[in-house]
Structure 1
Amino acid sequence: MVEGTVSVIGDGQAPGLVDGPGWSLPGLDVAAGRYPLSVERHVMAMADHLVPGVTTVTPHGRYYAVHGLIAAQAEAEDLTIPEAQSLLRRAEVALAAVSFAHHPQALEWLPRAHGTDALARRLHTGTLTMSEAEAPGKDGYVGSRWGFWGPYNGSEIALGILAPGHMPAPGPRLEAAAVRAGLDGLLELARAETLSVDSLKSFGDQLCVCAGGERADGEWLAKVMCEPADPAETGSRSATRRQTIQLLARVVTEHPEQIRRFTRDIGPVLAFGDFLTSDSVTSGIDTAAVWRGVVLRNYSVGAWRRLWSWLVAQVDGLLPIEEVADRFAVELPDTTVDAFLSALPATQSTTGAPLPAEYDLRNVIDSPLPLTELRVLAAGARRVDELSGRVRDAFLGRRGVELGPEWTQRRLDEARPTKLRDFARQITHDLVARSQRIARAKARRRPDGTLWLPTRLHERGGLLYRTSQEGRGDVGLRLDQLGTVLATCGVLRYDGGSWSVTGRGRALLG
């Protein structure tokens, strides 16, 4: 018998009913989790391989320098952990305040400095009291005692800027003199009692998040980003990052009027056409083929995410799963799967280059979302037999996984004689079952006895209900963040609505 107290419900109810176990709190926490279909893993892992040192939450090159500066200062002054935490937060507040003073309106090509939104009320009053602004919590600029070091820490360690540890410490590639010179004046602002926004305007050209490219810290960071830690290690992560940067720089150079946003505009260049194989530079970059496969796979990943988001949105109230399946089916033409596949646009040119089928399908006007995304999935499935070599390997990833291109191809081929609408109904059941399996696999028992179940969609006896909407964005490939980091260390420049490679960038990349 399990020990614990129980209580018998009284007040006129049937005797003997147990009011829950006494050793745990009642309740099921159904706070939504991320990646409900778990289709993103391969693309995310490949992005980490191709762009080490940059993530989807590290858009600012200057934070690498700021955290390096704090590491150097903490070492020089032998700061305690609380002292280092306070100095780091104050430096980040000062950086945000200077950046706001320099650019009160957000820049087109660069996100605002971290914490600016939380500091907005104070910034608009014209004065910051540092002890209040830097305090962690709901009333300060950030929740963490370490400010925004957490999101950047892994990247800074990967780049060799910081050493692993419980507080920022100089790594092998940190040049303390460069970050001190580039960020000259930041520590003085960080240690001030108050900051006047108007007086900070004079610091804009040297301490704004946009200004690193013209400063010593930017020149140092550009070398860290573009030069392998050991030139002899051709297969190292830093060598892979250099190849990715060389690839992006070449695309920017050869398509100057086309590139405004990296993921949106460079992605199709990497995925489609013969530029990667015919250009004298990109044809010699090993990672170009890998990038092609990853971008093509991301179209399929995005299709599953969009389709799932649409299905979850159909669940209004308590709804039988068959009703959701019927709502999917009615959005599709009354035809067979074979006819549906035959009507897809070509996915390969006569020379073997991938054609932009997925891109074009997403731009078809008035096409229902479920039909569009099913077409995108079918186009990706067709590429299983069209791609070859490193492109195919990067496209497929782990072989035969559920919802992968090979799985989708097999399911479509098996269903060719059947009605497309019946196929959609079966896919709906498959996706709901998969989402429930994944949610249960991720479920965790918390110390207080409650259960955390990460799902927005719940199934009970064939009935569905949802607690919130699902997101439908594509998996981030880190290209936008890589572009802004390179711009804020002077490798790239955004001017007049387009990107270009700077003289520094050309010198570093060859």
Structure 2
Amino acid sequence: MEGPEWSSPGLDVTAGRYPLSVERHVMRMVDHLVPGVTTVTPHARYYALHGLIAAHAGAAGSTAPAAQELLRRAEVALAAVSFAHHSHVHEWLPRAHGIDALARRLHSGSVAVAESAVPGRGGYVRNAWGFWGPYAGSETVLGILSPGPMPVPGPRLDGTAVRDGLGELLDLAAEETLRVEDLAPLGARLCVCAGGERPDGAWLARLMCGSDAADAGPRSTTRRQTIRLLTRVADTHHVVHFARDVGHVLAYGDFLTTDAVAGGIDVAPAWRGVVLRNYSVGAWRRLWSWLVEQVEGMIPVEELADRFAEELPDVTVDAFLSSLPATRSTTGVPLPAEHDLRLADEPLPLTELRVLAVGARRTDELSGRARDTFLGPRGVELGPEWVGRWLEEKRPTGLRDAARRLVHVLVARSQRVALTKVRRRPDGSLWLPTRLRERDGWLYRTSREGRGDVGLRLGQLSTVLATCGVLRYDRCWSVTRFGRELLD
């Protein structure tokens, strides 16, 4: 036996994610409502490509290293063909994975496949399994692949469809060099934007839309309902930016209750609750990002609290609440208060505090499944109910004094959240994921915080549906005839 020894010294403080841990409920609900698509799966053809590799490797009895190499080479070929087909950026579709890393080679006119496919620095991706990792969970949920350490065919994989649609990529993957000018004629069949016209796209569309009774199950049913709801919005509204425009319709107005189709979709109220709750989540993220940005060098917590207070009007909390915009109409329909507040020309801290207060008000205005989904786990710190109680308790006090106290609450919470994520590394040193450190009442930061909203996967779902033939983008979004056949 080896005896005890000293661990390596040091505490590695690096950037972490979700510093206030306010995102969990929204992320969990989105995973429930959009199974099979994530924020990093925008392309339908990668679902088919990974299925193709699984089917080919299984039929050939390939080892894991051989399947891994084939997958990487095929992804390089897909990136090269997609670049050759449209070197410009589609307004509605992200570039194929790996194009940015291969940009120098692609613009030179040729790509050495083996060199480009090597994982790590200099290749098209660092991960040994290419872009299979981001898609693997979704492909397993859909039944395209089975769980395992390498791509293995799942019960819903149609090997014939993926071979007919993308089989030519296997030939390209075997080439030593790919010339961009030679790939251009193949783009109409193999580009990431072309799946809607190919057999692999039709197969994936049926799988995504749950049109096959054999695929029926709770997750398939929920996904089908979500797609029916979103396509109905696209049918009845002018949708240019899918996530923004569809999200607005889901959150506000009477569409979900008056539309003949949307009114009969079970998940519609849940989507209203999720979109509205995400405004509050985004408010906490923006507010925290602004606070961390104010920390220059080392400053006491009290100074940070004062900087927050200076951005707010010198009124009582009661007066602050009275100044909030209306959140529902006389008929009880949700009004776009959060949306309008962010369009106003007000300091960020004041705007986001108002958004949080509006969210707290909605706890008594929503009902049924929309309210349950909006609230999530009850009584949690920084949730809408917590914000409502905090504001009620502070009504008689000054808004600036309440804000100062809130800063202390947020700093303390961020430190607790970071400590729950501490990990001991193999050498015995500790890893602490945080951008803001507190020591004896003094603060310093290692980097800035992001302030983007939590993704609801609406944009990614739209591009997946478009590249498998359910949706079409031509200055605005519409449903294809094939899409209607699958969803009616």
Place the TM-score, normalised by the shorter chain, in its bin: over 0.9
Tell me what 1:281 maps to.
261
Task: For residue 232 of structure 1, report the CA deviation from its aligned partner.
Answer: 8.9
CA distance in 1, matches of 2:456, 2:485: 26
The equivalent position to 2:81 in structure 1, one of 98, 105, 108, is 98
RMSD over aligned CA atoms reads 1.2
Alpha-carbon shift at residue 228 of structure 1 (Å):
5.7
- Match for 1:53 among 36, 39, 53? 36
> Using the alignment, how far apart are the partners of 2:384 and 2:212 within structure 1?
36
Deviations 1:28-64 (A, max 9, x none): 1111110000000000000000000000000000000
Residue 296 of structure 1 aligns with which residue?
A: 276
| Equivalent runs, 1:188-267 vs 2, <5 Å | 188-227=171-210, 230=213, 236-255=218-237, 257=238, 259-267=239-247
**Matched letter for residue 226 of structure 2:** T
Deviations 1:290-324 (A, max 9, x none): 00000000000000000000000000010010000
User: What is the Cα deviation at residue 145 of structure 1?
Assistant: 1.4
Match of 2:337 in 1: 357
Q: Separation in 2 of the partners of 1:43 and 1:286?
A: 18
Q: Name the SS of the counterpart of 1:453 in structure 2.
A: strand
Q: Tell me the residue number matched to 1:381.
A: 360
Residue 231 of structure 1: how far off its partner (Å): 6.3
The answer to which of 164-173 and 373-382 deviates more is 164-173
What secondary structure, in the 3-state scheme, does the structure 1 residue paired with 2:101 have?
helix
Which of 1 and 2 has greater Rg? 1
Question: Which moved further from structure 2: 53-62 or 224-233?
Answer: 224-233
Partner of residue 84, structure 1: 67
The more displaced of 300-309 and 263-272 is 263-272
Instruction: Indicate yes or no: 2:411 matched with 1:432.
Output: yes
Deviation, structure 1 residue 227 = 1.2
Look up the equivalent residue of 1:174 and give its one-letter code: L
- Residue 3 of structure 1: how far off its partner (Å): 6.7
1:144: Cα distance to partner? 1.3
SS of the equivalent of 1:323 reads helix
- Distance, in Å, in 2 between the alignment partners of 1:429 and 1:463 is 12
Q: Deviations over 1:477-498 (max 9, x none)?
A: 0000000000000000001x10
Runs of 4+ in 1 over 6 A off after TM superposition: none
Residue in structure 1 matched with residue 482 of structure 2 by the alignment: 504
Name 1:34's counterpart in structure 2.
17
**Structure 2 counterpart of 1:451:** 430
- Gap runs ≥5 in structure 1: 5-21
Task: Pick one of 449, 464, 467 that aligns with 1:485.
Answer: 464
For 2:287 and 2:309, locate their aligned partners in 1 and report how far apart those are by CA, in whole Å.
12
Query: How many angstroms does 1:184 deviate by?
Result: 3.3
What amino acid is the match of 1:347? Answer: T
Local SS of the residue matching 1:30: strand
Q: Quickly say closer, same or farther: Cα 1:179–1:402, change in 2 above 3 A.
A: same
Over 3 Å counting, the alpha-carbon distance change for 1:481 and 1:193 in structure 2 is same
Task: Provide, for residues 362-410 of structure 1, a one-character-per-residue CA deviation record: whole Å limited to 9, x for no partner.
Answer: 0002x00000000000000000111110000000000000000000000
Q: Determine helix, strand or coil for the equivalent of 2:100.
A: helix
Whether the 8 Å contact between 1:231 and 1:239 is mirrored in structure 2 is no
Asked if the contact 1:136/1:142 (under 8 Å) is kept, the reply is yes
**2:168 corresponding residue in structure 1:** 185
Q: Give the letter aligned to residue 227 of structure 2.
A: I
Tell me the alpha carbon deviations over residues 10-43 of structure 1, each in whole angstroms, 9 at most, x when there is no partner. xxxxxxxxxxxx6221211111110000000000
Identical amino acids, percent of aligned pairs: 71
**Quick check: 1:228–1:239 contact (8 Å CA) kept in 2?**
no
Distance 1:325 1:31 in 2: 24
- SS state of the match for residue 327, structure 1? helix
Q: Does 1:467 align with 2:446?
A: yes
Give 1:442 shift.
0.6
Q: Is 2:311 aligned against 1:331? A: yes
Are the counterparts in 1 of residues 206 and 212 from structure 2 also a CA contact under 8 Å?
no
Distance 1:104 1:30 in 2: 40
1:168 matched to which residue of 2? Answer: 151
